[in-house]
Structure formats: C-alpha cells, structure tokens
Amino acid sequence: MVRGLALLLGFQLLGELISRLTGIPIPGNVIGMALMLAALGSGLVRLAWVEEAAELLLSHLALFFIPAGVGVMVYGKLIAREWLPISVATVVSTFVVMAVTGKVAQRLEKGERQDAE
C-alpha cells in the first residue's frame, strides 16, 4: 500500500516537473497518469505494486472533489448576476456533449464491428 502511494505521488511529482519545465498547459497529474500508463505498459512498474493504492483512491474519487465544489459559494454573486446564460449554456451544452460523444462513438463502434464480420 505504502509502495503504491509512493509510486503514485512520485509519478505526479514527475508530471508536475515536466509541466513546469516545458510550460505546456497540461496539469502535472494528467502527465503523471500518461507516464504511469507507459511505465505499466513497459513493465517498469508492476500492476501489483500500485493496484491496491489505486483502487483505494479511485473508490473514493468523488470525495476528493467536494472541497473544490464548496468553492463555488465564493462566486455565488457572479453566477447570480448572469444566471440565465450561465445555467442554460451549462445544462444544455453538457447534454449536447454527452449525446454527440456517445452517439459518434457508438456508431463508429458498430461500423467497425460490421467491418470485422
């Protein structure tokens, strides 16, 4: 467990380092995720080393977003001032994205399956 957590934090640290050195607008933890995937794929890191720690964190992923969400209260006035464009755009656009992404992916998936047959 401790080894797994150390590896996850180590890859995040490495990702942060790359993000800062290169100045690319991708956060360190996302770069860390890509590096961890590469390390697992190349056999540099064994699945068994990180599996338990990853499972523990991911099973409580929702919990870690709560403080960021509570931060919304600080901008309550700003949101209240332009509530109509903000709420309509946020809600409608979220459903549009889900519909477009899901439908496009599902159609292509079916197409590829038919090609294979």
Within residues 75-104, the interface with other proteins by CB under 8 A covers 75, 78-79, 82, 84-86, 88-104
Q: Is 18 among the residues that bind other proteins (CB under 8 A)?
A: no
Number of other residues whose CB lies within 10 A of the CB of residue 59: 9
CA gap 20, 58 in Å, rounded: 26
CB of 109 to other proteins, least distance (A): 5
CB of 16 to other proteins, least distance (A): 9
What stretches of the chain adopt beta strand conformation (E)? none
Within residues 28-57, the interface with other proteins by CB under 8 A covers 28-30, 32-34, 36-37, 40-41, 47, 50-51, 53-55, 57
User: Which residues have C-beta within 8 Å of that of residue 55, sequence separation ≥ 6?
Assistant: none
